[in-house]
Amino acid sequence: MSTFEVRDLVKEFRLREKGGRRRLRAVDGVSFDLSAGSTVALVGESGSGKSTLARMLARLLPPSSGEVRVDGRVVGTGRGATRGYRGDVQMVFQDPFASLNPFHTVGHHLSRPLRLHGGRLTSSELNERVERLLERVALVPPDRVVGKQPHELSGGQRQRVAIARALAPGPRVLLADEPVSMLDVSVRLDILNLMDRLKAEEDLAVLYITHDLATARHFSERVLVMYRGQVVERGDSDDVILRPRHPYTRLLRSAAPDPGGSDPLTVPVEPASTEVPAGDQGCPFRARCPHAMSVCSRRPPEFPVGDGHLTSCWLYESSTEENT
Amino acid sequence: MNTQPTFSERWSPVLTVRGLSVDYEADRPVHAVREVDLALGRGEILGLAGESGCGKSTLAYAVNRLLRPPAHVVGGEVVFHHADGAETDVFALDGEQLRRFRWNRLAMVFQGAMNALNPVLTVRAQLEDVIRAHEPATDRRERGRRCAELLELVGVDPRRLDSYPHELSGGMRQRVMIAMALVLRPDVLFMDEPTTALDVVVQREILAEITRLRAELGFAVVFITHDMSLLLEISDRIAIMYAGRVVEEGGTERLRRTPLHPYTLGLLRSFPSLTGDPTGLHGIPGRTPDLAESLDRCAFAERCPYRREVCDGEQPPLVAHPDSPAGADGRAACHAHDPSRYGTAPPESLLRGEFRPIEESEVIR
C-alpha cells in the first residue's frame, strides 16, 4: 500500500544574471512512492536538488508543478489542508542546534505540536503525552528531560528531541534531511537505529535524505539516486549500492570510502566537465560521463535493469528486452 | 586497503611531541590536551582521529605555535628533527626564528579551508604573498614561475592564477590551499579536516592528490578528521584521541583488524562498511566527560562496556601490550589489556571486536 505518492514534482528557480534571466530546474520531474513501515533513501551530492525536494514535500516551498498524494488523494493548498497535511507528514532537519529554539524547554518544544494537532488536552494529559514521546525516542528519565533547554543537551540528544517533536502530531510520513550529518560520529548510528525502530514499531514511512551511501544501504529498503534534479537510478538498496548501473551511481560508489572493502585508493576517471547549455533537454550527467553518446542529447527514460531496479541511462536501452 | 609502503624499516622521526598539555583559561580551566606523546615519521601519513572536542585541532595548533589566548601550552615539548640530524625545540623559537621556521618546516591546511582564502585577492596575489614574506630575495619573474608550478603540482590549470576564489569550485579552492601550504616545501603538513565540506567524488580526488604529492615530495602528513573510514584508507599510522589524550596508536592495518581500546572499537563500528554485513551497528551512547575535570580515571569508563572497578580509580597509561593480539604494534591506554590491573585476561568479546553499548537509551543526568 502506498501511503504517499510524489508525481512529476518540479521546482524552477528564476535567476537574475548578467545578460538576462535564466531558469534553474532544481527538481526536474521527480516521482516516487513511500509506503508504511519502509524507508526510502534519497542519495545525492550537494546541489542535486535533494533538499529542495524535501522542502517541497514538507510544504516549506511551493512546487512549480507536479503533485503529492496522501492515501490516493491530492492535498489542497489552503491553510486547513496544509495543517491536515502536516499532521500526516513531518520533517526532521539537519541541524538540531538550529532547529530547536534555545529559549524553550524540551517540554515546550513537544507540547506545542501536541496542542496544535491533538485537539483539547488537559494539562495532565498533555504532560503524559510529552513523557510518552520522550520514552519513544529513548530520552530518559522523561521527568528530568522536560525541563531542559537545548544547550543542556548533546547533539544526539537534541536530535532525539527533534524526532520526538516530529512524532508529536502522529504523522505517518517522516522526512529526514541529513538527520545525522551534523552529529558526532559516535551517536550517528544510534539516531539511525532509532529511526529504524520507529519505522518498524509505528509503521512510519520514512524518506532518509543523505549523501552517505553506506548508511543509505543499511538503513533503507529502497534507494533513489538524484543528479541535477533528476532521479537517475532507483531500486532495492543492495541492488543500487552494490550493483550500481548508472555511470553516476558508479562514480559515487567508487569514490565512497570503504575501509572493509578491497579497493585501493583510486580516483574514478572523470573527463573534464563541459558546460551544459541552459534549458538542455538531454541526460544531465552526459558532460561528465565516460560513456556519453550522441543519443544522450535526448533525455533518457527509465530502463529496467533488474527486479524493480530502474536507471535513466541510454546504455540500458537494449536491456529492456533482455532483462524483462 | 593500504597500498602505501610501510616505513618501519627506515622509520626516522621528523617530529616528536612529549607530554604536551594545553589548557583553555577560564574560571575552571579546560584541559583540552593532556600529556600527549606522539612521534611522526619522516614521509609518514599519521591519521589523528577523534570526535569534536577531543583536542585534535588544539594539538595541531599547539605544535604549529598558533594557539591564541585563552589557550596556552602548560607543559611538554615539541622537537623537530632536521634531515641532517639536528634538532629544533619548537617551543623555544621566537620572533624571526619562529617566522622562518613556520611554513618552512611545518605548514598547515586549515579546517574550512574553502573559506580561508581571501575573497578580494587573486590566487596569484595570495601565493606570491607567501613567497615575498619568506623569501624576499625572489624576483617577480621567479615568483610568477613558482606560482604557476605550484598550481600545476596540485592539478589546477595555471591560467587560474588570476582567478578570484569565488570563481573556483570547492575542490579547486582546496587544491589552492594545499598549494599555499606547499609553497616553501615543508617537511610536515598538518591538515585539519581538509575534505569535510567537499562532495565525495571531489574528496576522493583530494585524497589521491595528497598521497601522490607525499610520494613525490616526501613530506609527512598529520591528517586530522573524525572520519575513520577516510583515515583507514589514507594513513600509514593512526592515533585515536579521546578527552584530550591519545588512547590508542598503531599501524593502520593493525588498528583496523585488532583495535585494543574499546573506544577505538566503538569508533570503527560507528562507520558501517559500504559493502559489508549490516548487523550489529551501534553508536557509542553517552557523552564525553567535562574537560575541566582533572580525571584520575579512564575518561571513557562511563561509556565503556568493558568497565571494571580499576577503570574508575586509575588513569590507564598509554603503553604497548606485547601479549595482546597487537603484539609490538602501537600502544593503548586501557586496563583491560593489563591482567594485573584488570584482574583477569581481557574479555574474549573485546578481543573478538564486539562493542555492545551498555545503555540503549540516552540517560540525562
B226, B282: one domain: no
Asked if the structure places residue B133 within a domain, the reply is yes
Q: Find out whether B227 and B60 touch, Cβ atoms under 8 Å.
A: no
B87, B204: one domain: yes
Residue from the list A189, A242, A255 with its beta carbon closest to the beta carbon of B283: A189
Rounded Cα distance, A223 and B25, in Å: 49
Counting Cα atoms < 13 Å in the Cβ hemisphere of B233 gives 25
Q: Find out whether B59 and B48 touch, Cβ atoms under 8 Å.
A: yes
Q: Do B281 and A260 touch (CB under 8 A)?
A: no
Using only C-alpha atoms, chain A has a radius of gyration, in whole angstroms, of 21
| The three three-digit cell numbers of residue B269, written as one number | 563500528
Q: Find out whether B18 and B32 touch, Cβ atoms under 8 Å.
A: no
B89, B38: one domain: yes
B50, B95: one domain: yes
Does any CB of chain B come closer than 8 Å to the CB of residue A225?
no
The number of C-beta contacts closer than 8 angstroms across A and B is 138
Asked if the structure places residue B152 within a domain, the reply is yes
Does any CB of chain B come closer than 8 Å to the CB of residue A140?
yes
B198, B263: one domain: no
Rounded Cα distance, B111 and B52, in Å: 13
How many Å lie between the alpha carbon of A78 and the closest alpha carbon of chain B?
38
| The three three-digit cell numbers of residue A227, written as one number | 543528479
How many Å lie between the alpha carbon of B135 and the closest alpha carbon of chain A?
35
Strand partners, B321: none
Q: Do B200 and A193 touch (CB under 8 A)?
A: no
B196, B318: one domain: no
B203, B279: one domain: no
Q: Find out whether B136 and B163 touch, Cβ atoms under 8 Å.
A: no
The residues, any chain, with a CB within 8 Å of residue A275's CB and separated by 6 or more, are A287
Phi and psi angles of residue B10, each rounded to the nearest 5 degrees, phi first: -115, 35
Q: Do A255 and B273 touch (CB under 8 A)?
A: no
Q: Find out whether B204 and A233 touch, Cβ atoms under 8 Å.
A: no
Q: Do A268 and B232 touch (CB under 8 A)?
A: no
Rounded Cα distance, A196 and A172, in Å: 14
Q: Report chain A residues whose CB lies below 8 A from the CB of B304.
A: none
Digitized pLDDT (tens) for each residue of chain A, 324 residues in all? 568 999 999 999 887 766 777 778 899 999 999 999 999 999 998 888 998 999 999 999 999 999 999 988 888 888 888 888 999 999 999 999 899 999 999 999 999 999 888 778 888 999 999 999 999 999 988 889 999 999 988 889 999 999 999 999 999 999 999 999 888 888 899 999 999 999 999 999 999 999 999 999 999 999 999 999 999 999 999 999 999 999 999 999 988 887 655 555 555 555 445 455 556 788 989 888 889 899 999 999 999 999 999 999 999 987 555 444
pTM as predicted: 0.87
Burial class (CB in 10 A: 0-12, 13-18, 19+), A293: exposed
Neighbours of B93 (CB within 10 A): 17
B223, B311: one domain: no
How many Å lie between the alpha carbon of A184 and the closest alpha carbon of chain B?
6
A interface mutation test: which of B282, B364, B365 has the most A CBs within 10 A? Answer: B364
Asked if the structure places residue B68 within a domain, the reply is yes
Does any CB of chain B come closer than 8 Å to the CB of residue A281?
no
What is the DSSP code (8-state) at residue B289? Answer: P
Q: Do B364 and A141 touch (CB under 8 A)?
A: yes
Q: Find out whether A121 and A127 touch, Cβ atoms under 8 Å.
A: no
Q: Do B227 and A257 touch (CB under 8 A)?
A: yes
| The three three-digit cell numbers of residue B214, written as one number | 607525499
- At B272 the three-state DSSP class reads coil
Helix (H) or strand (E) holding B18, with range, is strand B13-24
Among chain B residues, the shortest Cα distance to A213 is held by: B274
- At B31 the three-state DSSP class reads strand
Three-state DSSP string of chain A: CEEEEEEEEEEEEEEEECCEEEEEEEEEEEEEEEECCEEEEEECCCCCCHHHHHHHHCCCCCCCEEEEEECCEECCCCHHHHHHHHHHEEEECCCCCCCCCCCCCHHHHHHHHHHHHCCCCCHHHHHHHHHHHHHHCCEECHHHHCCCCHHHCCHHHHHHHHHHHHHCCCCCEEEEECCCCCCCHHHHHHHHHHHHHHHHHHCCEEEEEECCHHHHHHCCCEEEEEECCEEEEEEEHHHHHHCCCCHHHHHHHHHCCCCCCCCCCCCCCCCCCCCCCCCCCCCCCCCCCCCCCHHHHCCCCCEEEECCEEECCHHHCCHHHHHC
B52, B196: one domain: yes
Kindly report the length of chain B: 365
Q: Which amino acid is at A153?
A: L
Residue from the list A156, A218, A264 with its beta carbon closest to the beta carbon of B362: A156
Neighbours of A103 (CB within 10 A): 8
Instruction: Tell me what pLDDT residue B1 has.
Output: 41
Asked if the structure places residue B3 within a domain, the reply is no
The residues, any chain, with a CB within 8 Å of residue A280's CB and separated by 6 or more, are none
Inter-helix orientation angle B200-217/A247-255, to 10°: 50
B interface mutation test: which of A43, A186, A190 has the most B CBs within 10 A? Answer: A186
Q: Find out whether A13 and A56 touch, Cβ atoms under 8 Å.
A: no
* 99-118 of A, contacting B, C-beta below 8 A: none
The residues, any chain, with a CB within 8 Å of residue B109's CB and separated by 6 or more, are B177, B178, B181, B189, B190, B191, B192, B194
Containing structural domain, residue B123: 13-235
Residue with cell 583507514: B232
Give the CATH number for residue B138: 3.40.50.300
Does any CB of chain B come closer than 8 Å to the CB of residue A257?
yes
**DSSP assignments along B205-253, one per residue:** HHHHHHHHHHHHH--EEEEEES-HHHHHHH-SEEEEEETTEEEEEEEHH
Q: Report chain A residues whose CB lies below 8 A from the CB of B276.
A: 260-261
Does any CB of chain B come closer than 8 Å to the CB of residue A222?
no
Q: Do B267 and A186 touch (CB under 8 A)?
A: yes
- Chain centroid to CA A138: 23
Instruction: Tell me what pLDDT residue B4 has.
Output: 43
Asked if the structure places residue B79 within a domain, the reply is yes
Closest residue by Cα to residue A107 from A152, A62, A45:
A152
B79, B118: one domain: yes
How many Å lie between the alpha carbon of B201 and the closest alpha carbon of chain A?
5
Asked if the structure places residue B1 within a domain, the reply is no
Of B235, B257, B283, the residue that ends a domain is B235
Q: Find out whether A157 and B362 touch, Cβ atoms under 8 Å.
A: yes
Whether cis (ω within 30° of 0) applies to the bond prior to B339 is no
Does any CB of chain B come closer than 8 Å to the CB of residue A182?
no
Of B235, B258, B284, the residue that ends a domain is B235
Q: Do A265 and B203 touch (CB under 8 A)?
A: no
Domain count of chain B?
2
Of B235, B256, B280, the residue that ends a domain is B235
Strand partners, A207: A40, A175
Q: Find out whether B359 and B286 touch, Cβ atoms under 8 Å.
A: yes
The residues, any chain, with a CB within 8 Å of residue B97's CB and separated by 6 or more, are none
| The three three-digit cell numbers of residue A240, written as one number | 543500487
Q: Do A215 and B272 touch (CB under 8 A)?
A: yes
B230, B295: one domain: no
| Dihedral sign from CA coordinates of A8, A13, A14, A18 | negative
Residue from the list A186, A258, A268 with its beta carbon closest to the beta carbon of B201: A268
Residue from the list A184, A218, A270 with its beta carbon closest to the beta carbon of B272: A218
Whether cis (ω within 30° of 0) applies to the bond prior to A141 is yes
Among chain A residues, the shortest Cα distance to B279 is held by: A218
Furthest CA-CA distance within chain A:
68
Asked if the structure places residue B357 within a domain, the reply is no
Digitized pLDDT (tens) for each residue of chain B, 365 residues in all? 444 444 455 789 999 999 999 999 988 999 999 999 999 999 999 999 998 889 999 999 999 998 999 999 999 999 999 988 899 999 999 888 898 888 889 999 887 666 788 889 999 999 999 888 888 888 889 899 999 988 888 888 888 899 898 888 878 888 888 888 888 889 999 999 888 777 888 888 888 888 888 998 899 999 999 889 889 989 999 999 999 999 999 999 999 999 999 999 999 988 888 888 877 788 888 878 888 888 889 999 988 999 988 999 999 999 999 888 888 899 999 999 999 989 899 899 898 888 888 776 777 76
| The three three-digit cell numbers of residue A12, written as one number | 524552477
| The three three-digit cell numbers of residue A86, written as one number | 502536516
B27, B131: one domain: yes
Cα angle vertex A92, ends A87, A96, to 5°? 135
Residue from the list A160, A190, A213 with its beta carbon closest to the beta carbon of B283: A190
B interface mutation test: which of A265, A269, A285 has the most B CBs within 10 A? Answer: A265
Instruction: Tell me what pLDDT residue A1 has.
Output: 52
Q: Find out whether B283 and B270 touch, Cβ atoms under 8 Å.
A: yes
Asked if the structure places residue B307 within a domain, the reply is yes
